[in-house]
Amino acid sequence: GGLHQKFKNRGKVYWGSCADPNTLNIAANANILKSDHGQLTPENSMKWDATESSRGNFNFGGADTLVNWAVSNGKLIRGHTLLWHAQLPGWVSSINDKNTLTTVIQNHINGVAGRYKGKIYVLLHLYFSYVFLPSEIFNENGSLRSSVFSNVLGESFVTIAFQAARRADGTAKLYINDYNLDSNNAKVQGMVSLVKRVNANGRIIDGVGTQMHLGAGGAGGAQAALTALASTGLDVAITELDIANAGSNDYLTVMRACLNTSQCVGITTWGVSDANTWRTGANPLLWDSSYRPKAAYSALISAL
Ligand code: XIL
């Protein structure tokens, strides 16, 4: 079996990758998604700029293609992303009153989460997880990052967003997600406190995602990060793993950290082949630019 099947045999839910129409259209890439991955995250097609570039006008072209491909090939889907300060249209960032922004957030989340509700989870019994809700809201010191959301609404935007998502889809697991949660650092502590605070009056956040965009030798804190995030009592996931110029040990260290953390449901890499990565020139993935498995891939398979 491939990576996903072997990882699953070890008690995890999935090994996945991001994808979108542009990479699904590459046959070699699609074949690797089929053989070695059990979960897909839309790389760009479900972001705000792609789905609602002007107010109230939704476009689901790219996201539908990804979702339909995942469903027909039996892959789980993690939605990405309902709320993020980046790839955010200008019409949203220029809103400066609370009521308008609240309505706009609710309408956006209802539109995107409502689109894929039930179709996937109920009919096909797939685990549909909306992730990055919100995404990347912290500074490195654990305080709230400045964005239109925090500037206009303060921390309340987190609750507004999660409640809207819960209303739109009662079965999807709702995750909060950020980057640089790669060791037990101040940002991890800020995340843990926020999640506990927001969930204090009833659980609306189901899980915490750590992206883990790493460099070679940078995986040493992965176990400590997962352990700290799991102290929320929630599920945790590695949502965008890639490791610049990785050696086999870098990937092994991250995989073992997830295996050793019972609440870690799965690992998603941010792509398949070094030919298609946002980190140009970094060769951060498990297949080379000719879609051949790299040594790190073989090391993971052998360790499973
Ligand atoms: C990246 C995509 O991979 C690129 O194609 C796009 O140009 C920019 O966004 N954190 C995230 C992802 O949450 O959505 C980002 O994806 C990488 C960083």
Decide whether any atom of ligand 1 lies within 6 Å of the 278 Cβ: yes
pLDDT digits (tens, 9 = 90+) for 34-58: 999 999 999 999 999 999 999 999 9
Choosing from 84, 131, 278 the residue with most ligand 1 atoms within 8 A of its CB, the one to mutate for a pocket test is 278
Ligand 1 atom nearest to 177, measured from its CA: 13
pLDDT digits (tens, 9 = 90+) for 88-128: 999 999 999 999 999 999 999 999 999 998 654 333 333 33
* Dist CA 234 CA 262 (whole Å): 11
Decide whether any atom of ligand 1 lies within 6 Å of the 135 Cβ: yes
Residues catalogued as catalytic: 136, 240
Nearest to 153 by CA among 224, 115, 103: 103
Contacting residues for 141 by C-beta, under 8 A, at least 6 apart: 186, 187, 190
Collapse the DSSP code of 213 into the 3-class scheme (helix H, G, I; strand E, B; otherwise coil) and give the result: strand
Distance 270 CA to ligand 1 centre (A): 8
pLDDT above 70 covers a percentage of the chain that reads 94
Q: Give the pLDDT score at 127.
A: 39
Distance 277 CA to ligand 1 centre (A): 9
* Dist CA 302 CA 3 (whole Å): 10
Tokens of 23: 């990479």
- Asked if pLDDT for residue 287 goes beyond 90, the answer is yes
Protein residue with its CA nearest to atom 15 in ligand 1 = 43
Tokens of 185: 């650092």
Q: What residue type is assigned to position 77 of the chain?
A: I
pLDDT digits (tens, 9 = 90+) for 190-203: 999 999 999 998 99
Beta bridge partners of 130: 79, 174
Which sign, positive or negative, has the C-alpha torsion 29, 8, 1, 254? positive
Q: Give the pLDDT score at 136.
A: 72
Choosing from 44, 46, 47 the residue with most ligand 1 atoms within 8 A of its CB, the one to mutate for a pocket test is 44
Q: Quick one: pLDDT band at residue 138, thresholds 50, 70, 90?
A: confident
Q: What ipTM score was computed for the predicted complex, to two decimals?
A: 0.99
Decide whether any atom of ligand 1 lies within 6 Å of the 44 Cβ: yes
What are the helix (H) ranges across the chain?
Answer: 3-9, 21-24, 27-36, 48-51, 61-72, 90-93, 98-116, 121-124, 148-153, 156-168, 186-199, 222-230, 248-259, 295-303
* Dist CA 41 CA 25 (whole Å): 16
Nearest to 187 by CA among 142, 154, 157, 232: 142
pLDDT digits (tens, 9 = 90+) for 226-284: 999 999 999 999 999 999 999 999 999 999 999 999 999 999 999 999 999 999 999 99
Among left, alpha and beta (phi > 0; psi -120 to 50; other), residue 102 is alpha
* Contact by Cβ (8 Å): 88, 139: no
Distance 42 CA to ligand 1 centre (A): 10
Q: Give the pLDDT score at 125.
A: 33
Q: What is the mean pLDDT of the chain?
A: 92
Tokens of 267: 């690992």
Decide whether any atom of ligand 1 lies within 6 Å of the 269 Cβ: no
* Dist CA 289 CA 67 (whole Å): 25
